[in-house]
Amino acid sequence: MDEQEKQLWKLARKRAEFKKNLSVYLIASVFFWTIWWFTFGMHGRNMKWPWPIWPMLGWGLALVFQYIEAYKGDSKTLVDREFEKLKRNAEKNQQP
């Protein structure tokens, strides 16, 4: 396996892991809200902030960072993209 294939394999693993974690997050969120509904919500107990919001916010924030890492690329990939953009602009400016 060459270096590019290794990088692609790593990226594929990150994306698969993100999708799996997103699925678990959605299932757990439904479970948390169901528990909340049967313990507080359906009885009309009005709380300012229902407790399922807190795990959803914390876990959701972690998922945002995982998404950025999996789909927006790491710093090396960003540097490579920026270099290619600069190279194309330089070549474009040199053409008569």
User: What mean pLDDT comes out for the span 66-72?
Assistant: 89
Handedness of CA 35, 40, 44, 46 (dihedral sign): negative
Range of the domain at 65: 3-94
- Characterize 66-91 residue by residue with b for buried, 16 or more Cβ atoms within 10 angstroms of its Cβ, and e for exposed: bbeebeeeeeeeeeeeeeeeeeeeee
Model confidence pLDDT, tens digit, residues 2-26: 887 888 898 899 999 999 999 999 9
> What is the value of pTM for the model shown?
0.70
**pLDDT tens digits for range 24-53:** 999 999 999 999 998 887 776 667 888 999
How confident is residue 79, by pLDDT bands cut at 50, 70 and 90? confident
Q: What are the φ/ψ torsions at residue 53 (nearest 5 degrees)? A: -60, -40
- How many domains are contained in the chain? 1
Residue 74: per-residue pLDDT: 66
Name residue, tokens 């194309």.
Answer: 88
